[in-house]
Amino acid sequence: MVALQAFVPLTFGDGMPDSHTTSSRTPHHHAALVIVGTGMAGVGLARALRRQGDTRTITLVSADSGDDYSKPLLSTGFAKRLSPDKLAQRSAEALADELNAQIVTHTLVTQLDVDNHVLQLSSGATLGYDELVLATGAAPRTPFRIPSELAERCFTVNDLDDYRRLHGALNQPTRIAIIGAGLVGCEFANDLHAGGHQVTVIAPESAPLPRLLPERLGSALADTFQEAGIRLALGRTLETLSQDADNALTLQLDNGERHTVDIILFATGLAPRTQLAEAAGLSVSPSGIQVGKMRVPLGVIGIIYESRPNVTIEAASLCLKSGNACVLRGGSEASASNAALSRCLQAGLADAGLPAGSVQVVATTDRAAVGEMISMPAYIDVIIPRGGKSLIERISREAKVPVIKHLDGVCHVYIDTTADPAKALAIAVNAKTHRYGTCNTMETLLVDAPVADILLPELARAYAEHQVELRGCERTRALLPQATLATEDDWHAEYLAPILAIKVVDGMEEAIEHIERYGSHHTDAIVTQDYSLARRFMAEVDSSSVIVNASTRFADGFEYGLGAEIGISTDKLHARGPVGLEGLTTQKYIVLGDGQVRQ
């Protein structure tokens, strides 16, 4: 595929990779600028260009696939996407009038002819262009870590759903800081200011829309913002965030400047996603058919869990977001909470116009219900158990439905001879003491013999401050007499408690052998300054997450940028590691032809 960056105008010409398809057709239409994507990014870009006086011929092409492929933004405000297909054409016409642009809907880009500047569309039409932009959607990124106690007043708003939820809650004039002066941040600033809110835009760029507009136009837009009353702090970065005595948020910038606000919106950019490959990634076979893949939901997901009722909401939201239906069976300890949450879910589904059966909570706490769920492949496509080892072992043993699971979290940290002592100390302490009851907590520490006499006493003092009980091999006890002698069971143990097993090893060979014998294939880490050893460790340790020079506690869907997770899988088939939205989907082949038959 040709590597493309979302939002950035790219003129194709000499020197581009030749991994593309070629069409000899004369284009049906030609535009100076083609924007692939009729969502917030594509429409926002077209609006920004028109505001700055760009008079080129612009054509927007829908990039969505499936039944909801034609949902351009309405021109009235920032508010909504259209859901019913019967309204899609009406919204496209309104958008075309507003932008003085051609809107091509109900079609997909299937080929890029970069030599001749031609797009092949799934409708059979072709479209020529001088300049091409892919604005096909993205996933949010937030570069500033928000203090947990202030999180409820800090919002990541990078799509219309985020904005709609926030906008509905702002029922009085509010002081708002927007972090980010790109397309999204500027659009939100305009809309919120028009709604009577006091808005400050903070960004490291020296002008708004830096990736879309030349510096001179960006400066002119900044002047327009300031004249309208939108405060700008451009060329600045956020250094600290705190709460003052009046319960207001105080932002301190890198130049010492301070701003006081009520809430903060992080509109700090969008990392391009590659889902356009569903259309543009099609390859043409010698027979002329086009072959590609499309990501689709798994179907009906059965989730069996024990005491925590928060799983009810997490599981339902993830399944709905990924297009799946789900059947939830919680434990007896939280049956009343689960019943209340079930009523909330049913009300929410009704309000959203979704089928009530798309989320079902099993009312009974009878253990026989588990046996029924795991033996119904005609009705449930996959089972995800979340709970203790005995529950997961039973489901794995008896299920007639595919299972996504992990049994244990026996995680290791191996400290190599070349490790930086300060890094090794910080990682080993954090991996054990950050939280004891999680599956990515270190349970066994492996230390290379040449550095054991230096590191272990320091580590023991740090663990003593956290009241961690140490159990070690004979070589460990020779250095740490306070440690209890470890038994064979200790090397297998997932303590989920302030207990740590420690073993002194002779090199990485022994460390990897120990991990393979006693580990659970969940998460294992190495601390080393030796690049070759790090590469070998990553290649040879057979775990769902292998980490170099960082804590095992990072083995988490949120930390990996997946957002929420349904769990962590140590299986090798389908999903492995943290299972987020993509792990709840699968792929199927799609083939486009034009009457071909096999010879």
Query: Is 69 in a helix, a strand, or coil?
Result: coil
- Local confidence band at 80 (pLDDT 50, 70, 90 cut-offs): very low
Whether 364 and 487 map to the same domain: the answer is no
pLDDT at residue number 18 = 29
Query: Is 279 in a helix, a strand, or coil?
Result: helix
User: Are 512 and 497 spatial neighbours (Cβ–Cβ below 8 Å)?
Assistant: no
DSSP per position, 551-577: -GGG-STTTTT--S-SEEE--SSS--E
Q: Is residue 21 assigned to a domain?
A: no
Q: Compare 5 and 381 and report the one with higher pLDDT.
A: 381
Task: Decide if pLDDT at 200 tops 70.
Answer: yes
**Rounded mean pLDDT, 66-74:** 32
Among 373, 405, 437, which residue terminates a domain?
405
Sheet holding 249-253, edge to edge: 238-243, 249-253, 258-261
Query: Is 291 in a helix, a strand, or coil?
Result: strand
Tokens encoding 27: 């284009």
Q: Compare 2 and 436 and report the one with higher pLDDT.
A: 436
Q: Is residue 255 assigned to a domain?
A: yes
Whether 367 and 329 map to the same domain: the answer is yes
- Local confidence band at 565 (pLDDT 50, 70, 90 cut-offs): confident
pLDDT at residue number 53 = 83
Tokens encoding 447: 């230390």
**Identity of residue 4:** L
Crossing angle (nearest 10°) for helices 183-194 and 215-228: 20
Q: Is residue 13 assigned to a domain?
A: no
* Alpha carbon separation from 279 to 88, 130, 592 (Å, rounded): 20, 21, 10
Task: Decide if pLDDT at 504 tops 80.
Answer: yes
- Local confidence band at 4 (pLDDT 50, 70, 90 cut-offs): very low
In the Cβ-directed half-sphere of 64, how many Cα atoms lie within 13 Å? 18
Whether 484 and 503 map to the same domain: the answer is yes
pLDDT at residue number 512 = 96
For 361-377, letters b (16+ CB in 10 Å) and e give bbeeeeeeebeebbebe
Whether 531 and 419 map to the same domain: the answer is yes
Which range (276-280, 360-364, 560-564, 569-573) has the least confidence?
276-280
Q: Is residue 378 assigned to a domain?
A: yes
pLDDT at residue number 488 = 96
Read off the CATH number of the domain in which 542 is found.
3.40.309.10
Read off the CATH number of the domain in which 122 is found.
3.50.50.60
Read off the CATH number of the domain in which 370 is found.
3.40.605.10
Whether 301 and 396 map to the same domain: the answer is yes
* Rounded CA separation 344/171 (Å): 24
Whether 130 and 155 map to the same domain: the answer is no
pLDDT averaged over the chain? 79
**Rounded mean pLDDT, 177-205:** 83
Q: Compare 84 and 30 and report the one with higher pLDDT.
A: 30
Q: Is residue 578 assigned to a domain?
A: no
The pLDDT tens digits for 459-470 are 999 999 999 999
Sheet holding 382-386, edge to edge: 359-361, 325-329, 300-305, 382-386
**Rounded mean pLDDT, 391-418:** 91
DSSP per position, 434-465: S-SSSTTSEEEEEEEHHHHHHHHHHHHHHHHH
Whether 241 and 313 map to the same domain: the answer is no
Whether 85 and 157 map to the same domain: the answer is no
**Rounded mean pLDDT, 195-208:** 84
Whether 98 and 148 map to the same domain: the answer is no
Whether 240 and 357 map to the same domain: the answer is no
Task: Decide if pLDDT at 331 tops 80.
Answer: yes
Whether 367 and 415 map to the same domain: the answer is no
- Local confidence band at 399 (pLDDT 50, 70, 90 cut-offs): very high
Q: Is residue 444 assigned to a domain?
A: yes
Q: Residue 218 contacts by C-beta under 8 Å, 6 or more apart in sequence?
A: 205, 206, 207, 208, 209, 210
* Rounded CA separation 516/537 (Å): 12
Among 113, 136, 159, which residue terminates a domain?
136
The pLDDT tens digits for 340-398 are 998 888 888 888 888 888 999 998 888 888 999 999 999 999 999 988 778 888 998 99
Q: What ranges make up the beta strands (E) of 82-205? A: 102-104, 109-113, 118-121, 126-134, 138-140, 154-156, 175-179, 198-203
User: Are 494 and 410 spatial neighbours (Cβ–Cβ below 8 Å)?
Assistant: yes
In terms of DSSP bridges, do strands 238-243 and 126-134 run parallel, antiparallel, or are they unpaired? Answer: unpaired
pLDDT at residue number 279 = 37
In the Cβ-directed half-sphere of 526, how many Cα atoms lie within 13 Å? 27
Q: Is residue 356 assigned to a domain?
A: yes
Among 405, 423, 441, which residue terminates a domain?
405
pLDDT at residue number 295 = 80
* Rounded CA separation 578/314 (Å): 14
Task: Decide if pLDDT at 9 tops 60.
Answer: no
Query: Is 422 in a helix, a strand, or coil?
Result: helix
The pLDDT tens digits for 278-305 are 333 567 778 888 787 788 889 999 999 8
10 Å CB burial of residue 281 (0-12, 13-18, 19+) is middle
**What is the tally of structural domains in the chain?**
4
pLDDT at residue number 81 = 32
- The structure's pTM equals 0.54
* Rounded CA separation 108/592 (Å): 12
Which range (175-184, 299-308, 415-424) has the least confidence?
175-184
Query: Is 345 in a helix, a strand, or coil?
Result: helix
* Rounded CA separation 80/75 (Å): 9
Whether 107 and 202 map to the same domain: the answer is no
Range of the domain at 158: 140-270
Q: Is residue 74 assigned to a domain?
A: yes
